[in-house]
């Protein structure tokens, strides 16, 4: 236990002794994590939107004209059930649609109470058993009289999946590049500490100090720098995301009919990801520096 306290104490002292380089390392890692968080936020929200649409992907919704009654809808349902590739079809009234709409709005559902009348149409929901035949089913559904529109998400899903894959690939490449840069910066910080303590290290080796006794404070220094950077990054990323949701939250729902991922979810996951990333970068930077400049 005494050795652990000694290691941590020496690491903290080294951080303060090399304040300029330590701050440079913290700034580099923090900047890398914030840039990474921006890409992760985009990826997570795009994935959420794509998943929400994919949940509806196995269904086609036929919006009925206001003049069409349920009898007309029942006739369409009986016909559609005989289509090849259709699992089921059922009628959804405008009142049921409003209930589902309010559920998707979540905490903002109260805004819909100010509507004088329900603007949503009655519809027929067609569940698809074979997605390969969904295109032909959607085309056939649009041929009935009394139909206002047919909602089918295939093109949107394909575009979202392509965009998600592109963003994920870009984020991965950028993350690798920034991690390498951060490791180099941390390594240089530890290298400076090694040079400053060269005489002390030589004496410690001369009197029989073990390899890990010498390496410990340097390794802990890199980890401390990584932890500080992770804490700052999580806080700044949360503030940035809260600001974005305040500005774009309602517009995202209006344009894409989706809620942005809650900040609590991102905060919990970012804390774990950034802590692991910060510790790993700090430790790797220290190990690289010690392997090159400590003959121990």
User: Mind listing the pLDDT tens digit of every residue in the chain (296 residues)?
Assistant: 666 676 777 777 777 777 777 787 788 788 878 888 887 887 787 777 766 666 656 688 888 887 777 888 888 888 888 888 888 888 888 888 888 777 776 667 666 777 778 778 888 888 887 767 777 888 888 888 888 888 876 666 677 677 777 877 887 788 788 778 777 777 776 676 666 666 666 776 677 766 667 677 777 877 888 888 889 988 888 888 888 777 765 555 444 555 667 777 778 888 888 888 888 877 777 777 666 555 54
Residue 166 and residue 289 share a domain: yes
Residue from 280, 114, 222 nearest 105 by CA: 114
Residue 194 and residue 262 share a domain: yes
Per residue in 223-256, is it b (16+ CB within 10 Å) or e — as a string? bbbbbbbbbbbbeebbeebeebbeeeeeebbeee
Residue 118 and residue 176 share a domain: no
Distance of CA 53 to the CA centre of its chain: 17
Q: Are 124 and 89 a contacting pair, CB within 8 Å?
A: yes
Residue 85, phi-psi category: left (phi > 0), alpha (psi -120 to 50), beta (remainder): left
Residues 6+ apart with CB under 8 A from 259: 104, 105, 106, 249, 252, 253
At 289, list the tokens.
């520096």
Residues 6+ apart with CB under 8 A from 33: 229, 230, 233, 237, 274, 277, 278
Residue 96 carries which DSSP code? Answer: H
Residues 6+ apart with CB under 8 A from 209: none
Give the pLDDT confidence score for residue 254 in this predicted structure.
Answer: 46
Question: Taking the chain, what is the end-to-end CA distance rounded to the nearest angstrom?
Answer: 23
Residue 170 and residue 143 share a domain: no
Residue 129: exposure state from Cβ atoms within 10 A (0-12, 13-18, ≥19): middle
Residue 184 and residue 288 share a domain: yes
Domain C-terminal end among 152, 175, 199: 152
- Please state the φ and ψ torsions of residue 128, each to the nearest 5 degrees: -95, 130
Q: Whole domain around residue 80: which residue ranges? A: 58-152
The kind and range of the H/E element at 239 are helix 211-256
Give the pLDDT confidence score for residue 294 in this predicted structure.
Answer: 57
At 171, list the tokens.
């984020």
Which CATH number does the domain housing residue 98 bear?
3.30.70.3040
Q: Are 138 and 61 a contacting pair, CB within 8 Å?
A: no
Residue 175 and residue 232 share a domain: yes
At 208, list the tokens.
């029989």
Residue 221 and residue 206 share a domain: yes
Total Cβ atoms within 10 A of residue 276: 12
Q: Are 62 and 144 a contacting pair, CB within 8 Å?
A: yes
Total Cβ atoms within 10 A of residue 211: 11
Domain C-terminal end among 152, 169, 188: 152
Give the pLDDT confidence score for residue 249 in this predicted structure.
Answer: 56
The three-state secondary structure class of 25 is helix
Give the pLDDT confidence score for residue 131 in this predicted structure.
Answer: 67
Residue 253 and residue 133 share a domain: no
Domain C-terminal end among 152, 178, 193: 152
- Based on the structure, what is the number of domains in the chain? 2
Residue 161 and residue 62 share a domain: no
Residue 284 and residue 172 share a domain: yes
Residue 73 and residue 18 share a domain: no
Residue 46 and residue 103 share a domain: no
At 45, list the tokens.
């929200």
User: For 256, how many CA atoms within 13 A lie in the half-sphere containing its CB?
Assistant: 19
């Amino acid at each position: 236990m005494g050795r652990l306290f000694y290691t941590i104490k020496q690491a903290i002292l080294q951080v303060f002794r090399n304040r300029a380089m330590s701050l440079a390392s913290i700034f580099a890692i923090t900047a890398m994590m914030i840039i990474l968080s921006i890409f992760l936020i985009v990826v997570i929200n795009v994935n959420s939107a794509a998943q929400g649409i994919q949940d509806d992907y196995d269904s086609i919704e036929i919006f009925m004209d206001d003049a069409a009654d349920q009898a007309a809808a029942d006739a369409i349902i009986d016909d559609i059930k005989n289509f090849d590739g259709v699992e089921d079809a059922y009628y959804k009234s405008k009142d049921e649609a409003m209930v589902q709409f309010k559920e998707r709005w979540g905490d903002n559902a109260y805004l819909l109470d100010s509507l004088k009348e329900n603007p949503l149409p009655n519809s027929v929901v067609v569940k698809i058993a074979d997605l390969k035949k969904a295109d032909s089913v959607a085309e056939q559904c649009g041929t009935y009289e009394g139909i206002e529109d047919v909602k089918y998400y295939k093109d949107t899903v394909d575009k979202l999946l392509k965009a998600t894959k592109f963003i994920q690939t870009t984020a991965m490449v950028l993350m690798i590049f920034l991690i390498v840069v951060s490791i180099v910066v941390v390594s240089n910080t530890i290298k400076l500490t090694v040079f400053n303590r060269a005489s002390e290290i030589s004496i410690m080796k001369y009197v029989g100090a073990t390899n890990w006794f010498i390496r410990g404070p340097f390794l802990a220094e890199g980890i401390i720098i990584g932890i500080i950077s992770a804490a700052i990054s999580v806080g700044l990323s949360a503030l940035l995301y809260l600001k974005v949701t305040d500005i774009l939250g309602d517009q995202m729902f209006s344009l894409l009919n989706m809620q942005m991922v809650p900040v609590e979810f991102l905060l919990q996951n970012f804390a774990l990801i950034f802590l692991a990333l910060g510790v790993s970068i700090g430790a790797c930077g220290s190990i690289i520096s010690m392997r090159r400049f400590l003959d121990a």
